[in-house]
Amino acid sequence: MRLDIVTIFPEFFSALDVSLLGKARAAELVETNVHDLRDWAAIRADGTPDVHRTVDDSPFGGGAGMVMKADVWGKALDDVLEPGGVLVVPTPAGVPFTQALALDLATAPQLVFACGRYEGIDARVPEHYASAGFRVLEVSLGDYVLNGGEVAAFAMIEAVTRLIPGFMGNAQSIVEESHADGLLEYPSYTRPASWRGLDVPEVLMSGHHGKIEKWRHEQSEQRTRERRPDLLSPDLLGPDLLAP
Ligand SMILES: O=C(OCc1ccccc1)c1cn[nH]c1
């Protein structure tokens, strides 16, 4: 996979080499390129130089904050996006990022993360690339607002790259982890068997794999009921609710 990140804070992603991507094996599976959006802002749309390399401007219609300029993003993404590349735009206004989406994106030949700052990117940017035939995903990590897309992109990059076949040593751990079967993962324990008066559940010491598997599934269901009932309810936003 080719991984491209466009941001006004390229130094933010130097940590990528330290995290999961640092491993030699990972280096073969993922080619990472970080781009400074301001490199495409040095020349204005009218051809005159912009020493400030401006990437934002006031919103049409008024309102607080600034919006990132479509013409600058367009020049950058024209250079970075390859045919078949997927444009991922982290935003609080996006579709939920899920383990299922991470698995889907792990098969893409290229992911391009467009990290917005300020109030976000001019809405015509995702619109243009979608109409140009690219898969474009405006994706939310959760219902909160960050100062920019970089932190969200970093999280999504880690969630996706670890699912690339061959990336993680132990493929079995990927199958068993939380959300893999739509439930939260069961509680885990290791030595000592007794710690501060708390003992590891007996069943896990029984060596009876059928009982252990049953107990773990029950624990996953109980945890999901208690912490994430939303994962258990039927699809509330069914087609009828969303369809016009
Ligand atoms: O804040 C986020 O992205 C940065 C961003 C992008 C566009 C406008 C404002 C902020 C975010 C929150 N959940 N997922 C992403």
pLDDT in tens, 104-139: 999 999 999 999 999 999 999 999 999 999 999 999
Whether the CA torsion 144, 145, 151, 152 is positive or negative: it is positive
Q: % helix / strand / coil in the chain, to the nearest 5?
A: 40, 20, 40
Query: How many Cβ atoms are within 10 Å of 99's Cβ, its own excluded?
Result: 16
pLDDT score, position 116: 98
Does 145 appear as a known binding residue? yes
Say how far apart CA 82 and CA 100 lie, in whole Å: 24
Say how far apart CA 79 and CA 75 lie, in whole Å: 7
Does 141 appear as a known binding residue? yes
ipTM: 0.98
Q: Are 111 and 34 in contact (CB under 8 A)?
A: no
- If phi > 0 it is left, if psi is from -120 to 50 it is alpha, else beta; for residue 120 that is left
SS3 per residue for 182-241: CCCCCCCCCCCCEECCEECCHHHHCCCHHHHHHHHHHHHHHHHHHHCHHHCCCCCCCHHH
Name the residue with the closest Cα to ligand 1, atom 10: 148
Under-50 pLDDT residues of the chain: 242, 244
Distance from Cα 117 to the centre of ligand 1, integer Å? 8
Domains of the chain: 2-171 (3.40.1280.10), 181-235 (1.10.1270.20)
pLDDT score, position 179: 75
pLDDT score, position 244: 47
Does 46 appear as a known binding residue? no
Ligand 1 atom with minimal separation from the 146 CA: 1
Is residue 152 lining ligand 1, measured as CB closer than 6 Å? yes
- The closest of 112, 125, 117, 124 to 35, measured between CA atoms, is 112
Is residue 142 lining ligand 1, measured as CB closer than 6 Å? yes
If 0-12 CB within 10 Å is exposed, 13-18 middle and 19+ buried, where does residue 106 land? middle
Q: Are 95 and 118 in contact (CB under 8 A)?
A: no
Say how far apart CA 176 and CA 185 lie, in whole Å: 8
